[in-house]
Amino acid sequence: MCYSDIAYLYTGRGLAEGVIPYQPVKSLPAEKRPLTSDQEHQFSIEYPVLTGAWMGMTGLITHGIGKSPDMSEVSHDAVGSDKRVQYDGTLFWAVNAVGFFVVLLIALSFLVYAQRRRPWDAALVAASPALALTGMINWDLLVVGCVAGFVWAWSTRRPVWAGIFIGLGTATKLFPLFFLGPLLVLCLRQRKFDIWLATAAAALGSWLVVNLPVFYWSPDEYLWFWRFNAQRGPDLGSLWLVASDYGHPVSAETLNKASLVIFALACVAIGLLGLFARRRPRLVQLLFLVVASFLLVNKVYSPQYVLWLLPLAALARPGGVTC
């Protein structure tokens, strides 16, 4: 309850200095360009495009209503020590909090309308201690809105909208991409492959619409998210870090392969369960298993990742939403 990435990254990623997320390095003012290899990615955003866009939008709002001091002549390392910037960092946190509250209200509305006979499923999300404790650590509440929108769209038989929400979710945090697997399993079981194709096409289309402009504008900064995660070794909260602490370290390359193989095997097992279980599993149950499997073998487990599971856990319980 004492830490948040939000105010920290306001200064750490150059938002306090007016740097736009994914801005090409060559377009930065001369005094802000990196001088050494250690500074090469000091302004790089390690999140997918929609999260970076939200950061930029809330940064602009903060500059509009805050003190917004001129930092053009101040070195990046010294920006955070300015009292006016610290004030704006706190204001940036507050602007994000208001935005998150709006996203949460929309998400809860989606969950209620996904299963109108069981509105208390949405209440389980709203009243969860996990939401109160981790909602303001990072920008993960944004993807909760996309997940809720997907659940609403699929349960109300809107496959194209379901795909759009998958694409937008993947452009916010990567894991909604995995929703296409359980969807495929259940569509094959019910012989509705055409519906899956429509959903997958809408997901790809919405993801491309969001990502391609940023990629063409600033390919190096856009690709930093992928490079950062590929180069990352065992990190905080993960089982891999536990193994490393007990004398079994692994390289980033080995970890990438091992986690991918284990996750793929888990997905195959979940897929077989979905195909051959005597009683057809509900979609949210398979989604919960896939996301939980991903988090178990991931390189890092940040506390706010519990939000990825929260709506799925609330709806996957026995007697929950029928989608």
Give SS3 for 317: coil
Residue pLDDT, tens place only, 56-93: 999 999 999 999 999 988 988 899 999 999 999 999 99
Residue pLDDT, tens place only, 263-301: 999 999 999 999 999 999 999 999 999 999 999 999 999
- 192 with 156: CB under 8 angstroms? no
Residue pLDDT, tens place only, 4-18: 999 999 999 999 999
Dist CA 182 CA 274 (whole Å): 8
Phi then psi dihedrals of residue 128, to 5 deg: -70, 130
Q: How is the chain split into domains, by residue range?
A: 5-316
Q: Is the pLDDT of residue 149 over 60?
A: yes
**What pTM does this model have?**
0.94
Dist CA 288 CA 24 (whole Å): 38
pLDDT of residue 29: 86
- 78 with 92: CB under 8 angstroms? no
pLDDT of residue 174: 95
| Residue 256: exposure state from Cβ atoms within 10 A (0-12, 13-18, ≥19) | middle
Residue pLDDT, tens place only, 220-259: 999 999 999 999 999 999 999 999 999 999 899 999 999 9
Structure tokens, 146: 């996309």
